[in-house]
């Protein structure tokens, strides 16, 4: 047990902190889930990339710094403490990239990753469909073999696609074998959103931003080179990296530590706050620290070769509930000002998505009960 950072990690922290202090936009950018805000965020993404901070844990050849998992955690902590903009590229970097590293051919890695790091290609996730949310294996969008064209023709509809209206590419699951049983017969495809036959329609999320999109595909030709991880392997490929989505890589502790600090500041400057308020503020602050400690234990396990697996469902449950608790507590402190459109009310609306995306919390509790506790599936 040693909870101190090494001199190398401290040096890495200082370098990140200094760069962020000099470069983070002084005024907050408009929401990255609006068209204008997205453009502003892209500019920021390119600034990050040019200074090699956009994908610190990736190999240098692809635009990263070969940073260790510990250094990545340090960077995330500093990033959130600096109040730096939300990462509009996150679904590519945190969700698709781990899959490309694990299953992509060298050609795919070279073609996809540097452009992703540089925010030239912007990736949206195409998993959910109108009839396939929690029951992801119910996917009906299909891909039909076109031998002559050397690829597959995709037809169907994806929905609740985050920032789909602003992205350039889609990664998604499609049914290549309609005869096969649910989880089999799916294939993981990479689809440019400007391909003939693709129609994207943005729509509003709960917070009123155009952060969602429906993606309609009508006989869209995708070459064999854009199959990730093999035909019929889609479920295995997608599930192998869901840990990244649910757990640590999507939601590092820095985000919640920073929000918890803001909450404590709010309580300090709210003269009307009562003992009951303090009790809730401290509880939320404690839980943010607990999330960090849990992730330190988790990173130790990963670094020492013990993979995380179903435990990422614990991360997902904890951080999503914590995010809501932090924002609900802020609303209590704000009193009548809680309804004013601002960072706390916007954060609150966003926090409500947490128990839904990346696998609903009901699904996560099933996973914890069945895979960690060994309760019967049916």
Partner 1 sequence: MRFAVAERDAALAEAAGEVLAKQAGAERIRAGWPGGDAEAVDAVWRTLAGVGVSGALVQESADGLGLGLDENALPPLMEALGRSGLPVPAAETVAVGAPLLAAAGAPQLPDVLKGSALITVSLTPGAPVPFAARADLIAVPDGEGLRLFARDEVALEPVGSVDGSRWLAQVGAPAGGGLLLAEGPAELAVAHRRGVLATAALLLGLGGRMLELTVAHVRERQQFGVPVGSFQAVKHALADVELALRFARPAVLAAGWAQAAGDSEAAVRTSMAKVLASEAARKAARTAIQCHGAMGYTTEYDLHLYAKRAWALAADWGGPAEHRESIGRRLGLAGPADHVSEGADA
Please count the other Cβ atoms lying within 10 Å of the Cβ belonging to residue 264.
16
- Residue 119 burial class via C-beta count within 10 angstroms: exposed 0-12, middle 13-18, buried 19 and up: buried
Residue 6 in contact with partner 1, rule: CB under 8 A: yes
Cα 134-136-139 angle, rounded to 5 deg = 135
Distance separating alpha carbons of residues 166 and 200, to the nearest angstrom: 9
- Strand, helix or coil at 33? coil
Residues between 309 and 338 that touch partner 1 (CB under 8 A): 311, 314, 317-318
In the set 45, 78, 210, 245, the catalytic residue is 245
Nearer to partner 1, 4 or 26 (CB): 4
Residue 173, beta-bridge partner list: 188
Distance separating alpha carbons of residues 348 and 23, to the nearest angstrom: 27
Residue 14 in contact with partner 1, rule: CB under 8 A: no
Token pair recorded at residue 94: 């945190």
Residues between 161 and 220 that touch partner 1 (CB under 8 A): none
Per CB under 8 A, the segment of 103-111, 130-138, 230-238, 368-376 that binds partner 1 is 368-376
Per CB under 8 A, the segment of 147-155, 211-219, 288-296, 324-332 that binds partner 1 is 288-296
Distance separating alpha carbons of residues 339 and 120, to the nearest angstrom: 37
Among 76, 129, 210, 287, binds partner 1 (CB under 8 A): 287
Annotated active-site residue 370? The verdict is no
Residues between 63 and 102 that touch partner 1 (CB under 8 A): 70
DSSP 149: T
- Strand, helix or coil at 357? coil
Per CB under 8 A, the segment of 165-173, 190-198, 343-351, 367-375 that binds partner 1 is 367-375
Residues forming the site for partner 1 (CB under 8 A): 1-6, 9, 70, 264, 267-268, 273, 275, 278-279, 281-283, 285-287, 289-291, 293-294, 296-297, 299-301, 304, 311, 314, 317-318, 362, 364-366, 368-370, 372-378
State the catalytic residues. 245
């Amino acid at each position: 047990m040693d909870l101190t950072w090494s001199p190398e990690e401290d040096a890495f922290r200082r370098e990140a902190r200094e760069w962020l202090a000099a470069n983070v936009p002084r005024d907050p950018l408009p929401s990255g889930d609006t068209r204008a805000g997205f453009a502003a965020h892209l500019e920021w993404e390119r600034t990050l990339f040019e200074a090699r901070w956009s994908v610190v844990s990736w190999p240098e050849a692809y635009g990263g710094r070969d940073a260790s998992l510990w250094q990545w955690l340090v960077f995330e902590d500093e990033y959130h403490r600096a109040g730096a903009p939300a990462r509009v590229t996150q679904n590519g970097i945190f969700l698709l990239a781990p899959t490309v590293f694990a299953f992509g051919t060298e050609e795919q890695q070279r073609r996809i990753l540097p452009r992703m790091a540089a925010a030239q290609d912007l990736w949206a996730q195409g998993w959910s469909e109108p009839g396939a949310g929690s029951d992801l294996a119910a996917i009906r969008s299909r891909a039909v073999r076109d031998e002559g064209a050397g690829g597959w023709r995709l037809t169907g509809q994806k929905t609740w696609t985050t920032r789909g209206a602003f992205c350039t590419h889609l990664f998604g699951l499609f049914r290549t074998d309609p005869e096969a049983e649910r989880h089999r017969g799916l294939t993981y495809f990479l689809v440019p959103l400007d391909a003939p036959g693709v129609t994207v329609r943005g729509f509003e999320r709960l917070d009123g931003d155009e952060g969602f999109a429906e993606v309609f595909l009508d006989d869209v030709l995708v070459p064999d080179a854009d199959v990730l991880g093999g035909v019929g392997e889609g479920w295995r490929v997608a599930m192998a990296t869901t840990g990244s989505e649910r757990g640590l890589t999507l939601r590092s502790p820095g985000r919640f530590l920073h929000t918890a600090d803001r909450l404590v500041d709010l309580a300090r400057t709210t003269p009307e706050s009562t003992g009951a308020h303090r009790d809730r503020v401290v509880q939320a602050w404690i839980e943010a620290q607990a999330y960090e400690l849990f992730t330190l234990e988790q990173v130790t396990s990963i670094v020492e070769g013990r993979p995380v697996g179903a435990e990422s469902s614990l991360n997902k449950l904890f951080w999503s509930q914590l995010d809501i608790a932090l924002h609900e507590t802020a609303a209590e402190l704000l009193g009548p000002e809680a309804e004013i459109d601002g960072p706390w009310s916007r954060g609150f609306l966003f926090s409500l998505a947490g128990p839904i995306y990346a696998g609903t919390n009901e699904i996560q509790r099933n996973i914890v009960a069945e895979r960690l506790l060994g309760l019967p599936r049916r």
